[in-house]
A and B are shown apart, each in its own frame.
Chain A
Amino acid sequence: MYNVKVYVTYKDSVLDPQGEAVKGAVHRLGFEEISEIRIGKYFDIKVHQTAQPIETVIEAICDKLLANVNMETYRYEIMEEV
């Protein structure tokens, strides 16, 4: 069994208006030192033993569904559970 964490975020070139709005609120809280906030999505996925390498499976799911590669990028962490 694997435990996979996938993080999807806008590409750096894409404006993240939600992140900008939250950053504005953080500044109003008084934390002026915060220079950037970007909001993304987090997926916690449990995977049984796979026929293909698990990286191949996860990347296929990300490319096809979890991320829209026109505007988003993703990274993932795979942990094996015993």
Chain B
Amino acid sequence: MKFAVIVFPGSNCDMDLLCAVKDILGEEAEYVRHDADSLAGFDGVLIPGGFSYGDYLRCGAIARFSTIISEVIRLADEGKPVFGTCNGFQILTEAGLLPGTLLRNESLHFICKTVQLQVVNNQTNFTSEYQLDEVIQLPVAHGEGNYYCDEATLETLKENQQIVFTYAYDNPNGSLENIAGIVNEKGNVLGMMPHPERAVESLLGSEDGLRFFKSIVKNYGKARANA
């Protein structure tokens, strides 16, 4: 499976994603610049964390209008896996690929720590290697990760089981209903504030993020076998 890791001015978790996929998982991955105009030949897209365009205006708002985003939207429409973590999640909401938005953390503090997450939907292409309701440990590092949407959107998210990860025990940023990660209606675009790519080997303190990427690859292989 060949992944594109999109690099914006200000991305700082692009190398983490590339290493997780290439070095640990053993799949193909390449950086693609924000001003490139094609994602031809890629099977999936990874949008890294960081501070695209310095978080000017709003997190993700300017990145959303980068040249490459129309190609990200095309791949999402084709049903290919698109994953955004942290600033990547913010960009996906700004691009309209995921509903809602990320507000400033309720505490106003930048938080950088390991959090406990509950896998509330393990029936997605991103989470099938986890047990339902399993509690996993992943790091977070963000100032604006407070997920917010209106009531109607929240109802839709619940009805369609689009809430995938919630903060277990302790909500670090004040997000609505403890939401840490959601998937789109079709199930092929996932955004989350925690960083699974920073928890892929025991040296990093947790290997719980590895199964996230394994799920993507496994389900993509299955989908191709059935095609």
Do A and B share a complex? yes
Residues of chain A touching chain B, judged by Cβ–Cβ distance below 8 Å, are 14-15, 17-18, 21, 41, 65-66, 68, 70-71
Q: Do A70 and B100 touch (CB < 8 A)?
A: yes
Interface residue tally for chain B (C-beta within 8 Å): 17
Among A14, A41, A70, A71, max chain B CB count under 10 A is at A70
In the complex, A71 Cα to B144 Cα: how many Å? Answer: 13
Which chain B residues border A70 with CB–CB below 8 Å? 93, 100-101, 148-150
In the complex, A15 Cα to B173 Cα: how many Å? Answer: 13
Interface segment among B68-76, B103-111, B132-140, B206-214: the answer is: B103-111
Q: Do A21 and B58 touch (CB < 8 A)?
A: no
Which chain B residues border A71 with CB–CB below 8 Å? 101, 103, 148
Question: Majority SS of interface residues in chain B?
Answer: loop
Q: Do B106 and A15 touch (CB < 8 A)?
A: yes
In the complex, A57 Cα to B129 Cα: how many Å? Answer: 48
CB pairs A–B below 8 angstroms (11 shown): A15-B103, A18-B104, A41-B57, A65-B61, A68-B61, A68-B94, A68-B101, A70-B100, A70-B149, A70-B150, A71-B103
Residues of chain B touching chain A, judged by Cβ–Cβ distance below 8 Å, are 57-58, 61, 65, 93-94, 100-101, 103-108, 148-150
Which chain A residues border B105 with CB–CB below 8 Å? 17
In the complex, A1 Cα to B138 Cα: how many Å? Answer: 53
Q: Do A65 and B106 touch (CB < 8 A)?
A: no
Q: Do A65 and B148 touch (CB < 8 A)?
A: no
In the complex, A71 Cα to B163 Cα: how many Å? Answer: 20
In the complex, A18 Cα to B100 Cα: how many Å? Answer: 20
Which chain B residues border A21 with CB–CB below 8 Å? 108
In the complex, A57 Cα to B61 Cα: how many Å? Answer: 19
Given the known inter-chain contacts A17-B106, A21-B108, please indicate yes or no for A65 contacting B101, CB distance below 8 A. no
Which chain A residues border B149 with CB–CB below 8 Å? 70
- Known interface pairs A21-B108, A41-B57; 4 further A-B residue pairs with C-beta atoms within 8 A, sorted by A's residue number: A17-B104, A68-B94, A70-B100, A70-B101
